[in-house]
A and B are shown apart, each in its own frame.
Chain A
Amino acid sequence: MSKIKIVNLQKSFGDFTAVKNSNLTINDKEFFVLLGPSGCGKTTTLRMIAGLELPTSGEIYLGEEEVGMLRASERDIAFVFQLFALYPHMNVKNNLSFPLKMQGYSRSEIKTRVEEAAKLLRIDHILNSNISSLSGGDRQRVALGRALVRRPKAFLMDEPLGTLDAEFRELMCLELKKLHIDIGATTVYVTHDQLEAMSLADRIAVMDGGEILQADEPSVIYNKPATKFVASFIGSPGMNFISIDQGISNEQSTLNIEGTNFNIPKQYEISKGKKNSFGIRPENLSLTNEGGLKGSVFGVEYLGSRKIVTIKTNFGELKVKTDISTSVKINENVQVKPSNDNIIIFDGETDKSLKSEFMNKWQK
């Protein structure tokens, strides 16, 4: 196992730049997730690490070795594809031993390793089955098995749980995490599902438009988003934004919006621009009878342990996470107010979050 480092990595397809000048360090034995919407360049980045795409410029280090221009077969990494890409003309055992055959292991060594991996993944009872007869979950396990028999330097996974149904995905998520803890392999995992990312990752890199916006631990990404995009993409539902037509100064402790005072944390950074916005997570908003932003109920989602109430206000739709006992009706007039000062101000020009006391709580 070894660490992975990418330096100034860039990839263009004709006029389109899929990955822009990216830098990342993935530590040894880390479970690292590349997260972003489709088309953000996360899969391209992964494929460049794998050697399935060659970078337009930049370097990729696997351990100490620069591998940017090496063929995939020369890199000693394993890749789990979204559609598994198990060889349909071979049975499970042959699929697992396929990567070992190339490396010139003896027959008995191959047998032991295949059996070891099969036992670890609990697929030892289906070793002689055909791929086409397997369920989605078993295929997933075989794909993982094929990756780990070789004991590669790193595991790369491209949305491996994307095709499984929701219930099974949760189970596989747990298994993956446990497997990672058991074998301690450096893993780079690509997904567009932020819940999956949050539950699996040691660290997450959020990408959009070919750029890495932020790379940090899940709790830091959630509480201290570097940009407005990260704040809206992470969390379910994402952060609420209210645009404010005023600058932000150091001394300011409240923001007055339509007569409602919002306490804001002590700001360390200021923005002189007039087009800023502030963000607040749905769990930090609450419904009130007076002294809040006026709006009407637009939708109520019942989630079992809580409700998400969508309120239409003059500042757009706000989502509020409320107690299950809250009862509101569609079109009912309500008011919304923040329940604490966990508020992040975003610079209107750069979309970056401004440093504040609240943000610094999450500094490592």
Chain B
Amino acid sequence: MDTSRSYLEPSSFSKKLAATIIIVYTVITLIPISWMVMTSFKNVNSAISYPPEVLFEPSLEGYVNLFTNRSRQSQEYLDSLPAPETWYEELVRSREMVITGPSKFLGRYSNSMIIGFGSTFASVFLGALAAYAFSRFRVPLKDDLLFFILSTRMFPPIAVAVPIFIMYRKLGLGDTHLGMIILYTVVNLSLAVWLLKGFMDEIPKEYEEAAMIDGYSRLQAFFKVVLPQAMTGIAATAIFCMIFSWNEYAFAVLLTQFNAQTAPPFIPTIIGEGGLDWPAIGAGTTLFLLPVMIFTIILRKHLLRGITFGAVRK
């Protein structure tokens, strides 16, 4: 009998099986993402060629198209222009076009940043305060209130799209950054309160009692002692909130048009000559993916600890 491993440890067969399942799953998940990244480096023709090209000559045309507006010109006009100064001008010229100005992408992208990070910050901050109160104070009707907060997540947010649309128009919040931040915060807040309450419950109240005896007010103790210890929970909550508000599409389509339009409704509308400009869309989605990816990688350490936090009492 093999006694080299403990009974609690899985057998080498089940370890291999688990690894195989994970690898297969990862490959399947990565196919659309790698296709998207590949498309972003193709040129317009190879992006839509059939059969699809797996090996191709990479080009930055998609990225150039994403960031610029262009117009087609006759060969004589192009010849009359001075030589192109930059590599991207040269690329556009070779397609018999000239750059007429920057596209709206950068503006939409920064809208996404402002609204995404803004609502994430607001959700986590308000959620932490509410969670702390629910965790520490005798709140009248505590259980009912918590259930009510949770119940706001029981229907799909889009179910209330029409009333929100009308409300936002009357309040002048339509197509504003503030309006979108408030909306995403409202949707995320219930999740934030519930997640963070669990983390706050795990922090012994002696810490803030010690801080209060050391001369700090409860609010100061909250910021100096409780929040730093809730970092794992805050990181986990922030990632969930960020992913939602960054990816949100339906409300963004409905409520924003120019001023506060985010990247998700903008990217699919990128139109080139004779239809959708797939390389530019690929480039847009690839760039769109990056912030959440970086954000998650930065907070990953906390997230891993966060999910298993409190599973075993120290």
Contacts and interface: CB of A to CB of B under 8 A. Distances in A.
A63 B128 CA distance: 39
B186 interface: no
A52 B214 CA distance: 12
A87 interface: yes
A72 interface: yes
9 contacts: A50-B213, A52-B213, A71-B212, A73-B217, A87-B207, A87-B228, A88-B229, A102-B220, A150-B215
Residue of B206, B215, B217, B220 with highest tally of chain A CB at under 10 A: B215
Nearest to B212: A72
Interface string B199-243: 000001011011111111100100011001101000000000000
Given A99-B214, A99-B215, 20 more contacts: A51-B212, A52-B213, A71-B212, A71-B217, A73-B215, A73-B217, A77-B213, A79-B209, A79-B213, A81-B206, A81-B210, A83-B206, A85-B209, A88-B229, A98-B214, A102-B215, A103-B215, A146-B210, A146-B214, A150-B215
Contacts of A83: 204, 206
Nearest to A132: B314
Contact of B213 (A78, A87, A89): A78
B229 A102 contact: no
Contacts of A146: 210, 214
Nearest to A104: B215
A13 to B, nearest CB: 11
Contacts of B228: 87, 89
A73 B225 contact: no
Contacts of B216: 73, 102
Contacts, number: 56
Nearest first, the 9 closest Cβ-Cβ pairs linking A and B are: A99-B214, A85-B206, A102-B215, A85-B210, A89-B228, A72-B212, A79-B213, A81-B206, A72-B213
B259 to A, nearest CB: 41
Contacts of B206: 81, 83, 85
Interface of B: 204, 206-207, 209-217, 220, 224-225, 228-229, 231
Nearest to A74: B215
Contact of A85 (B204, B220, B224): B204
Interface of A: 50-52, 71-73, 75, 77-79, 81, 83, 85, 87-89, 98-99, 102-103, 146, 150
A71 B215 CA distance: 9
A41 B194 CA distance: 34
Nearest to A143: B210
A102 B224 CA distance: 11
Residue of A75, A77, A83, A99 with highest tally of chain B CB at under 10 A: A99
A98 B216 CA distance: 10
B126 to A, nearest CB: 23
A52 B215 contact: no
Contact of A73 (B204, B213, B224, B229): B213
A102 B228 CA distance: 18
B217 to A, nearest CB: 6
A278 B156 CA distance: 75
Provide the main secondary structure of the chain B interface.
Answer: helix
A126 to B, nearest CB: 19
A31 B206 CA distance: 23
A89 B302 CA distance: 14
A336 B52 CA distance: 102
Contacts of A98: 211, 214, 224
A73 B215 CA distance: 4
B154 to A, nearest CB: 34
Residue of B213, B216, B217 with highest tally of chain A CB at under 10 A: B213
A71 B212 CA distance: 8
Contact of B229 (A71, A72, A89, A99): A89
Contacts of B215: 73, 99, 102-103, 150
B249 to A, nearest CB: 38
A354 to B, nearest CB: 44
A85 B214 contact: no
A54 to B, nearest CB: 13
A78 B220 CA distance: 18
A85 B207 contact: yes
A142 to B, nearest CB: 12
A128 B220 CA distance: 24
Contacts of A52: 209, 212-213
Contacts of B217: 71, 73
Contacts of B212: 51-52, 71-73
Contacts of A73: 212-217
B309 to A, nearest CB: 13
A344 to B, nearest CB: 41
A141 B229 CA distance: 22
B229 A81 contact: no
B209 A81 contact: yes
A103 B220 CA distance: 13
B310 to A, nearest CB: 15
Residue of A77, A78, A98 with highest tally of chain B CB at under 10 A: A98
Contacts of A75: 213
B213 to A, nearest CB: 5
Nearest to A156: B213
A44 to B, nearest CB: 14
Contacts of B213: 50-52, 72-73, 75, 77-79
Contacts of A102: 214-216, 220
B216 to A, nearest CB: 6
Nearest to B203: A88
A73 B208 CA distance: 11
A146 B215 CA distance: 12
A51 B228 CA distance: 24
